[in-house]
Amino acid sequence: MSDADTPGTQYTGCTNVNIEIRNCTMNNHEGSFLEQYLCETLLLIVGSNPLPNYVAASLLLKENGRVFLIHTPDTLGTAKRLQQVLCEINGVKDVKRVPIKSSSSNVIIQDGIAATIASILGQGQVGLNYTGGTKAMAVHIYRMLEQIAVRESLQPVFSYLDPGELRIIFDGHGNATTTSYPVAEEIQVPLEVLLKLHNIDLVKNAPLRTPYLLKTAHSLANLHSTTEGIKSWRQWCQTELRRSSEDKFKPAGELKKVILPDDGDLATVTTTLRQEIGCTQQPLTLADVIPFSPWQGKKQRDAVEDLARWLFGQWLEHFAYNEIQKIAVTHKLHPSGMGIGLDTDREKSPYDFEVDVAAIYGYQLFGLSCTMDNTKNLCKAKLFEAEKRVHQLGGDEACVGLVSCYDKPQRLEKEMLNAWGMKPNKVRVFGYQDLMHLSDKLDEWFSHASGK
């Protein structure tokens, strides 16, 4: 048999490195829900996204417990990655894959797991989390385990994760009562673990977690809080930083000579930048800025190109990321970075990612796309692209946002929610009117999207 066809294939060579699992005690006599539902043996039905399985295993598995990953040929790759991560990151020493050949046939599903269920009887608390996989798999495996439990006088733990409410539901089979608990604050899944579950590596020097030139970024945000400011800055950038006939930046030799604006509304930006970096040079060129800037360690060619990109629009990513940092503690958010370029192996992963700004609440991914554009078509395209990337990575729990200069953000947001059939707060669009109050707007979004 091949490895894919061998029941109970086990992963060995584990390292014992644990991610942080926070304990949570309920405010009543029932005690900690984690303690009363922990399992020596946990059955997980593997779907296309491994995140719910990983969360369930991290929350419900007892120390030195074992995991069985029930998968079809279509989800073999997902099961292998999940197996590796549970072993290497969580230190689970016994993780086995249980292949079944069909995700819909009752007979094939039950035949595929019969030996596994028989082998775990009488060996401590057994749990089944059926968040992943198809509905047919969940129903047939659930019923089979339930029937065996009645016959053997067992009390298995049946559970699933609710992606909308970020809660775990414990199914009240038999005479038991169905209960649910919020679990987002019981686990913190770092971006690196989330990526590893999808077999994705970060590109070199990503993500960036220290925003640059925040005072200048704030000045630019203030400028872009009016339609006149948006137009003026775009015109300056197109004229001074871009080639006239192409959608590309000028050569570095020309960029370094570009003089930052020193008159009209734009002068405030240059004045703020001059004060922030401590350079009194007048007039101030891009080359003058480099020795005092975060790019000072780079070759001048690369540095002036990076500064030009920052002035042209990357400043908005840095501004938005800092606005998230301001409220991170309040919402128990983990700001994951900005300019997140994700290096995918095309033979192993179908995804291609670049996320402007990301933060994670427990295991709920918030991904933001940032654009200075104020046209509906481009903002809509940016949002489509961001939603695809964020949903592929974070699953049904994920939320996507757009920080833009669009003047009708609520209208675009409603249109996209209807088009995607999503619940409110899964998508949020911020316009130019929101820039100077962005941390407050983000605060309100995070509160509603995370079910607080």
DSSP 429-441: EE-GGGGGGHHHH
Assign residue 255 a region (left: φ > 0; alpha: ψ between -120 and 50; beta: otherwise).
alpha
For 135, phi and psi rounded to 5 degrees? -60, -35
For the chain, the average pLDDT equals 86
Q: For residues 256 and 251, give the distance between their C-alpha atoms in angstroms, rounded to a whole number.
A: 9
Q: Are strands 94-99 and 9-10 parallel, antiparallel or unpaired?
A: antiparallel
Domains of the chain: 3-187 (3.40.50.10770), 214-313 (no CATH), 322-449 (3.40.1350.10)
Q: For residues 180 and 451, give the distance between their C-alpha atoms in angstroms, rounded to a whole number.
A: 14
pLDDT tens by residue, 70-92: 999 999 999 999 999 999 999 99
Q: What is the dihedral of CA 285, 288, 292, 298, to 10 degrees?
A: 100
Q: For residues 340 and 404, give the distance between their C-alpha atoms in angstroms, rounded to a whole number.
A: 18
Map tokens 């002035």 to a residue.
311
pTM, two decimals, is: 0.88
Given this model, what pLDDT does residue 377 score?
95
Q: For residues 416 and 21, give the distance between their C-alpha atoms in angstroms, rounded to a whole number.
A: 35
- Strand order of the β-sheet with 427-430 is 200-202, 333-344, 353-361, 364-370, 399-403, 427-430
Given this model, what pLDDT does residue 342 score?
63
Residues of the chain with pLDDT under 70: 1-32, 104, 174, 203-206, 245-246, 342-353, 452
Of the candidates 151, 160, 137, the one whose C-alpha atom is nearest the C-alpha of residue 42 is: 160
- Residue 235: Cβ-neighbour burial (10 angstroms; 0-12, 13-18, 19+): exposed
Of the CA atoms within 13 Å of residue 433, those in its CB half-sphere come to 6
Q: For residues 261 and 142, give the distance between their C-alpha atoms in angstroms, rounded to a whole number.
A: 67
pLDDT tens by residue, 248-286: 999 999 999 999 999 889 999 999 999 999 999 999 999
Q: What percentage of the chain reaches a pLDDT higher than 90?
A: 63
Given this model, what pLDDT does residue 343 score?
60
pLDDT tens by residue, 112-137: 788 888 887 777 889 999 999 888 88
Given this model, what pLDDT does residue 91 score?
92
Contact (Cβ atoms closer than 8 angstroms) between residue 445 and residue 425:
yes
Question: How many residues comprise the chain?
Answer: 452
pLDDT tens by residue, 160-171: 999 989 999 998
Contact (Cβ atoms closer than 8 angstroms) between residue 49 and residue 349:
no
